[in-house]
Structure 1
Amino acid sequence: MSEQASPDELTALQAALAAEHAAVYGYGVVGGRIGERDRGQAKTAYDAHRARRDALVREVRSLGGEPVASSAGYALPFPVADRASAVRLAAGLEERVAGVYADLVRAAKGARRASAAAALREAAVRAVRWSGESVAFPGLAERIPGGGSGAAGAPPTASASASRQATR
Structure 2
Amino acid sequence: MSQHPSSVLLNGINISEILNVQKIHDNLYSSGQPTVQQLELICQAGVSTVVNLALNDADNSLIRQHIYEDRAVLELGMHYIHLPILWDCPSASQALFALKAIHHLQDQLVWIHCADNWRASSLMYLYRRFYMKMPIEQADELLHQVWEPDETWTGLINAVAMQLQAEQFNY
User: If the length of structure 2 is used for normalisation, what is the TM-score?
Assistant: 0.29
Q: Which structure's residues are more often strand, by fraction? A: 2
User: If the length of structure 1 is used for normalisation, what is the TM-score?
Assistant: 0.29
